[in-house]
Structure 1
Amino acid sequence: MASIDQCDMVNGLSNERKKKTTQGKWVISRRRSCHGPKPVTKFGPKAKLVDDQSVEDCSIFSTCDPSSMMLGWKSEPRQVLIIKKPGDDDYLNRSFTQLAYWLVQEMNFLLYIEPATLSESGFDNEEEHENIRSKINIWEQEADVSSFSDRGLEASIDFIITLGGDGTLLYAASLFQHSCPPVIAYHIGSLGFLTCFKFPNYKQDLKSVVNGNGKLILRKRLECTLMLKTDNDCKLDDNKMIKSYTVLNELLIDRGSAQTLSNLDVYLNDRLITTVQGDGLIVSTPTGSTAYAAAAGGSMVHPSVPGILLTPVCPHSLSSRPVIVPSGVELKIILSQESRCGAFASFDGRNRYELRRGDGIRVMTSVYPVPCLTQDDQITDWFTSLGECLHWNVRQKQKPL
């Protein structure tokens, strides 16, 4: 286990505390705070905020201007990970090929891509692409993200380019369960709420990012830990923690194909606040507020707002309404012992697990956000996406009197 000094260097958090276990080892436990943990603002091996002090000064007595978050580099970036939407779409593959040649030949970058991208784009033909094939590295993710050691990839990638839609960005973020490099997301997909960049402008966009002129938005994530019951008379604190996932959108707990309603006990800082009886519960980030949570009747929240959203799915009560709790609290969602059926948990739509009575999930705000480049600024991009993708408040104007 890392020493206290090492933990301080890794986390750099003022709202973390150290306590000693009965074995004499030091571990880190989080202080409960309404304002949540301060984010780690070093992204990958080279990227950082231009002025880290602007984030460190954020507290209950001060407010950070979201438009002031600018991307900076400790040294010139040279290694980039390209995540392409899977499939044999001709335009997507041509765009990838065009981007890869430009990055290698004009910008002198070293590329990392997946095996599927290699074959779909035709780059597995070394004779046809011999000019740049030596500058392309192939990597393959392990099947289980929770066991995937992203330290090697994290130490190699300076920034990420995604070609696709929102699902491509979510997948890219899932590869980095800890510190995530900056992401520039190009809209070559179906929806593109989170992907604000247009591919025809990629040269200008990427040159601006490499030169340190990019604006950032830190998209908060949730750290979700599975807790399995250890005995028949299990209490809340006796559960065994087995797996942990960091999600960008949401944690979903649902009743699956069962014909009866599920009962989910919701604890906030170890205090039972409610029991959700219905089809399930969505625990989402502000980024995920415009996804499944919005479809279930939750409020849409700007990604820079610190908070955790709780949205019941088809609750069996007219008074059961969505709520937003402070980002610093610890949530525990336990499948009640009185529940008539089991439940299933999924993390950003992946890694679906069955929960039995007494099992649950602990949820806290992660200290590792996803730094995403913005086209204009945080406010303009978000409301543009609301209008273009969700047609928010689009109606025929009333005629004047």
Structure 2
Amino acid sequence: MFLKKQKSESLMKMRTGARGETIPDPGSQKLLWNKPPLTVLVVKKISDEEALSAFKQLVCWLIEEKKMVVFVEVSVLQDGILATDSKFQQIKSKINSFKEGEDDLTNKVDFVICLGGDGTLLYASSLFQTSMPPVMAFNLGSLGFLTPFNFENFRDEVSFVIQGNASLLLRYRLKCVVCKKDSLCSVTPVKHIDRSQSQVKTHALVFNDVVVDRGPAAFLCNVDLYIEKKLVTSVQGDGLIISTATGSTAYAVSAGASMVHPNVPAIVITPICPHSLSFRPIVVPAGAEIKVVVPPEARNSCWVSFDGRNKQELLHGECVKITTAQYPVPSVCAKDPMEDWFNSLAECLHWNVRRPQKAMSSTVSSASITSLDSVDLSS
């Protein structure tokens, strides 16, 4: 178990009239354990030899040196290469296995370690549809925007996190519910909808984004967008991306959205190839209820996916309702939330990379360059 600490001395005070308010310093979020973590879930990128080598080293070290209880997915343990590894076979009997969709890991795991890329972290998030323990992500993937740790010094890095006081970033998730046509859940606030209701087709917590698009249809996607029960606009184009601040640097940024720091409590709404020059991405407050409906007059149905998974058809009259989930993903930082994010922008997206402007010659004054008198207009 863990606690998030905010030091009172690191709060910035803001006065509004006679009432005092505080804005938390993003760097003040720290990981504190109520007691040392005893159980750890290790999630590995599939079909990757580099990740497999790292997985063997990490699991053996956690069991033999740290005396921790390790959970691993059954499909990972069935890898043929592991069956020929004599050292791994000696500790295999000490590993607890589980199957996605069958075993509930809630309240069984204190700590999560991911070995892979951003997709591995998204998958780990999907395993916890309520509260999620702190997650530490090692970059063994293609991009690594969300995975700030390098595996070379994994023993020191993991030991430091287990000891506590590491920087923590709470990444907001979205609660998403697909409601059947003319069902009561289509008018019930999404925060009150439970996954057990028969009128609910899908109930999911989303880390990056929900995408509503035209799927295989040749026609434009036509959906109505509601925010806080008010019709905001009708969307005609290839679709909509509704993302968390974390997801703003994924599909949304490719579609023209601004990049939003994960600490910002917001939901980003981005059109995909809109058939309008004035339809720009917008940012709404976290907690706002968003509803996307396929109207009866639409030429075709639409499709919806959640973090790129579980793609399904949205029929006429059906809707997807979205708001900020009450269960974030506590991500352990390599340094701190601000430095990690800007390092990812620079290293992964090459944000604002260009050749620097040459320095001005000392023999030429700035006045001579900007003055019209110095320009030979006869030429």
TM-score (norm 1): 0.81
Question: Which amino acid is the alignment partner of residue 22 of structure 2?
Answer: S
Q: Find the counterpart in structure 1 of residue 115 from structure 2.
A: 163
Question: Which amino acid is the alignment partner of residue 329 of structure 1?
Answer: A
Root mean square deviation of aligned Cα: 2.5
Is residue 307–residue 327 contact of structure 1 (8 Å, CA) maintained in 2? yes
Q: Find the counterpart in structure 2 of residue 226 from structure 1.
A: 178
Is residue 306–residue 326 contact of structure 1 (8 Å, CA) maintained in 2? yes
Question: Which amino acid is the alignment partner of residue 21 of structure 2?
Answer: F
SS at match of 1:363: strand
2:13 and 2:288 map into 1 onto residues whose CA distance is 18
Deviations along 1:366-401, one digit per CA (max 9) or x if unpaired, are 010000000111111001000110010000111122
Question: Which amino acid is the alignment partner of residue 332 of structure 2?
Answer: L
Name the count of aligned residue pairs: 346
Runs of 4+ in 1 over 4 A off after TM superposition: 51-60, 121-128
> Given the superposition, is the C-alpha separation of residues 82 and 235 from structure 1 closer, same or farther in structure 2, using an over 3 Å criterion?
closer
TM superposition shift of 1:100: 1.0
Which protein has the larger Cα radius of gyration, Structure 1 or Structure 2? 2
> Given the superposition, is the C-alpha separation of residues 132 and 50 from structure 1 closer, same or farther in structure 2, using an over 3 Å criterion?
farther
2:319 and 2:179 map into 1 onto residues whose CA distance is 5
1:111 and 1:236 map into 2 onto residues whose CA distance is 41
SS at match of 2:238: strand
Is residue 286–residue 303 contact of structure 1 (8 Å, CA) maintained in 2? yes
Question: Which amino acid is the alignment partner of residue 24 of structure 2?
Answer: C
Matches within 5 A, 1:1-400: 46-51=1-6, 61-87=21-47, 89-120=48-79, 122-124=81-83, 128-142=87-101, 150=104, 153-230=105-182, 237=187, 240-400=199-359
TM-score (norm 2): 0.86
Q: Among the aligned pairs, what percent are the same residue?
A: 44
SS at match of 2:226: strand
Q: Which ranges in structure 2 are unaligned for 5 or more consecutive residues?
A: 15-19, 189-197, 361-379
1:307 and 1:102 map into 2 onto residues whose CA distance is 39
> Given the superposition, is the C-alpha separation of residues 235 and 163 from structure 1 closer, same or farther in structure 2, using an over 3 Å criterion?
closer
Q: Which ranges in structure 1 are unaligned for 5 or more consecutive residues?
A: 1-45, 143-147
TM superposition shift of 1:114: 1.1
Is residue 7–residue 28 contact of structure 2 (8 Å, CA) maintained in 1? no
Question: Which amino acid is the alignment partner of residue 267 of structure 1?
Answer: Y
SS at match of 1:176: coil
2:103 and 2:114 map into 1 onto residues whose CA distance is 21
> Given the superposition, is the C-alpha separation of residues 338 and 155 from structure 1 closer, same or farther in structure 2, using an over 3 Å criterion?
same
Q: Find the counterpart in structure 2 of residue 10 from structure 1.
A: none
1:179 and 1:194 map into 2 onto residues whose CA distance is 19
Deviations along 1:272-313, one digit per CA (max 9) or x if unpaired, are 011111010000000000000000111100000011000000
Deviations along 1:188-244, one digit per CA (max 9) or x if unpaired, are 01110000000011111111111112110000000000011038xx99639943321
Is residue 332–residue 361 contact of structure 1 (8 Å, CA) maintained in 2? yes
2:332 and 2:207 map into 1 onto residues whose CA distance is 15
2:99 and 2:10 map into 1 onto residues whose CA distance is 35
TM superposition shift of 1:51: 4.9
TM superposition shift of 1:55: 12
